Amino acid sequence: METRILGISEKDIQVAADILKTGGLVGFPTETVYGLGANAMDSEAVGKVYAAKGRPSDNPMIVHIAGEKEMERLTDVITPDMKRLMEAFWPGPLTMVVPARPEVPRVTTGGLDTVAVRMPDSSTALELIREAGCPLAGPSANLSGHPSPTTAAHVYDDLHGRIDAIIQGEPCKVGIESTVIDMTSDKPMILRPGIITPEELSTALGKDVGIDPAILKKPEIVKGDGLLETGEDFKPKSPGMKYKHYAPKAEMIIFKGDPEKVRLAIAEEKLLRTGYGQKVGIIIYDNDNPKEAAHRFFAQLRAFDKSGVDVIMAAALEEDGVGLAVMNRMFKSAGYNIREVK
Ligand code: AMP
Ligand code: MG
């Protein structure tokens, strides 16, 4: 299949919308990461998304909408809490899991009776959804297991020849995927951390939100097929969280501990590795600016892979606020290969 590269002109968005209307797949920019769009109400089109990504079929899609009205096509239940979050954070990097209407194909929801919905904060994405006239299933536009794509070039590297078109739009502002919050019970529960933090969500709702304990828990074993061993205490509520994810080709080690000691430990390990003739990539972010870390992380993993590094060494950030979201990705990228620095 020839993958067309489109721009963001009205004409090109129209071409992309026509592809979506006829059941095709289009990579498109959002503020979080690039998405792989398909008509969310068309089972066959959504089936092609799983195939193009090599994504396990029980890992549901996030459905992207352009207006609150479209929410009514997807769910019968819009609670006051949901309204509060829509008002506070949409369009933006927040996904809500809500009860799904019967019309929403179960291929889209990974067989669940709930559906994950988001309104992206990207004028290109919103125009595309409006022109296509349907909600768009939009998982990250990468091969399953690879780092998420934050530029159109990343999408091309992973999916050219497998999808109909890529819209070459802006690089992603946020750089990591949306915060996912389950709104199907009285106490909202964060299933995946993102740049919208638990504190911000609690403030907007005027009540506590839970955090799925599986978010930072180290699974026991990563099996060859990428499925994480689900031990007694590792039962994530979000199906996607049970798969190995975001992995660079290089070996990756996370150094955790006092920042000064971590820098020294990384420098020592670098000397050792380069002595063996290995090429080393180093990631050290400013703990005070985790948003910048989120913005750069996936692109940096891909850049290291391109330049053929053998090992990536990363300094851990503190696991709170936006740092929690970055560390959730970093742990998975490294396959939980963590070195505690004393
Ligand atoms: P991605 O599309 O790659 O950003 O991944 C979407 C994430 O949302 C995955 O972790 C999914 O498991 C999660 N998700 C999507 N739909 C649901 C749902 N109905 N219930 C729980 N988690 C969901
Ligand atoms: Mg993904």
CA of 63 to the centre of ligand 1 (A): 9
Fold equal for 4-216 and 251-341: no
Domain 4-216 classification at class level: alpha beta
CA of 263 to the centre of ligand 1 (A): 35
- Show me where the domains of the chain are located: 4-216, 251-341
| CA-closest candidate to residue 240, choices 214, 201, 266 | 214
| Six token digits for residue 256 | 């955790």
* Residuewise pLDDT in 10s, the chain (342 residues): 999 999 999 999 999 999 999 999 999 999 999 999 999 999 999 999 999 999 988 899 999 999 988 999 999 999 999 999 999 999 999 999 999 999 999 999 999 999 999 999 999 999 999 999 999 999 999 999 999 999 999 999 999 999 999 999 999 999 999 999 999 999 999 999 999 999 999 999 999 999 998 886 766 555 555 555 555 555 667 666 655 678 899 999 999 999 999 999 999 999 999 999 999 999 999 999 999 999 999 999 999 999 999 999 999 999 999 999 999 999 999 988 999 999
Four-point Cα dihedral 309, 315, 316, 317, nearest 10? -120
CA of 280 to the centre of ligand 1 (A): 33
Q: What is the pTM of this model?
A: 0.94
Q: Which atom of ligand 1 is nearest to the CA of 139?
A: 2
Question: In the CATH scheme, what is the code of domain 251-341?
Answer: 3.40.50.11030
Residue nearest to atom 9 of ligand 1 (CA): 240
Burial tier of 56 (Cβ tally within 10 Å: 0-12, 13-18, 19+): middle
**DSSP run (H or E) holding 124:** helix 123-132
Q: Please report, as a single letter, which amino acid is at residue 131.
A: E
Show the ligand 1 pocket: residues with CB < 6 angstroms: 59-62, 97, 109, 112, 114-116, 139-140, 177, 180, 191-192, 238-241
